[in-house]
Structure 1
């Protein structure tokens, strides 16, 4: 087992740990992520849900993403920090906002998605793979 990957909200009321490394990290320019990231792309780190330890109970907001997927986004009810996203069609995965990780250096994006939604001033790394919309799903977890 690798060292746990830990994180928390700004005020510390919600803390979490995964007992494994992330599967992937991506920068996302969809409009929902822009709202969650104050207008910029959101850097999202994808983990298997199994192996998650969660302390504190974040609030949830459910909506339908641009991809058509039903999403459940969770955040701290005390400080408002966006923490997680969960897609209804991928119940074995948990998406964590990179800014909530204790070591955000683990969240180096391997690609950028929803580039067609980026504003003209948006920075999309030229050396990373990109998708104009939703990326293909990750394979199911064993």
Structure 2
């Protein structure tokens, strides 16, 4: 049974996610700001094997400030951001909250790469903060 479902704006890419989110993060790195119109991305991290994607994804990869290769996946038809994955953590995928059909219970817990946030950024003081790359979350059984 899926815990979450997701779809892009045009419906060409869909997903079912069987597991619970390991963490929900807002990322202020410059690459995330570029894909989120200047704001952070908000991402739920899931175990890779909990995610079943249908449809064709377009991807772009680059070496991030962390030194890891990041691959960003999106719908090649409508451009909806779907997920990111890091070469350092192949056991996880970060699913963009905008892709998830009903992400209402996936509130951010952590904000990362705060040193890249613009001076006007409003960051919830209740969130755990990391100026750069955080340690990986523990994998739940």
Question: TM tier, shorter chain?
Answer: over 0.9
Task: Please list, as runs of the form range in 1=range in 2, the aligned pairs for 1:28-47 lying within 5 A after superposition.
Answer: 28-47=27-46
Segments of 5+ residues of structure 2 without an aligned counterpart are none
Structure 1 counterpart of 2:6: 7
Say how many residue pairs are matched: 141
Is contact 1:43–1:107 with CA below 8 Å preserved after alignment? no
Is contact 2:24–2:107 with CA below 8 Å preserved after alignment? yes
Structure with greater strand share of residues: 2
Is contact 2:7–2:99 with CA below 8 Å preserved after alignment? yes
SS across alignment from 1:74: strand
Structure 2 counterpart of 1:65: 64
SS across alignment from 2:105: helix
Task: Please list, as runs of the form range in 1=range in 2, the aligned pairs for 1:61-100 lying within 5 A after superposition.
Answer: 61-100=60-99
* Coordinate RMSD, CA, aligned: 1.4
Within the alignment, does 1:23 sit opposite 2:22 as a pair?
A: yes
| TM-score scaled by length of structure 2 | 0.94
Is contact 1:33–1:42 with CA below 8 Å preserved after alignment? yes
Is contact 2:22–2:139 with CA below 8 Å preserved after alignment? no
SS across alignment from 1:99: helix
Q: Could you list the structure 1 runs, at least 4 aligned residues long, displaced by more than 6 angstroms after superposition.
A: none
Which 10-residue stretch deviates more, 49-58 or 69-78? 49-58
Separation (CA, whole Å) in 1 of partners of 2:106 and 2:65: 23
SS across alignment from 2:130: coil
| TM-score scaled by length of structure 1 | 0.93
Tell me the CA shift for residue 107 of structure 1.
2.3
CA deviation string 1:37-74 (max 9, x = no partner): 11001101100011221110111101111111111110
Tell me the CA shift for residue 137 of structure 1.
1.6
